[in-house]
Structure 1
């Protein structure tokens, strides 16, 4: 089994791990007049629209 010949320094390890960042969720405006930001590929919880169709009964108050 392959085993590293030398120990990786703390600096090298931390430089490598610095690229592991959490990304904010991608939000897009809903096509309804309110333009609420909703996650992509999800129905809007406010109006119930998904890809221009009414798929759930929305809470449009």
Structure 2
């Protein structure tokens, strides 16, 4: 028995940085991505609506 996958997929991997992500988008979606990226601050970076990171980031406690 082997741990190798039965079917090899030769797809290109997308770099996980702003340039890699933007390269996969086209037109208006790329423009919107850069707009949101430039508007983000370290405090709100993971809190972009629809982001999977926002569900994992702990929320500040209300006092």
TM-score (norm 1): 0.20
The structure, 1 or 2, with the larger RCO (C-alpha pairs under 8 Å, 6+ apart) is 1
Which entry has the higher C-alpha Rg, 1 or 2? Answer: 1
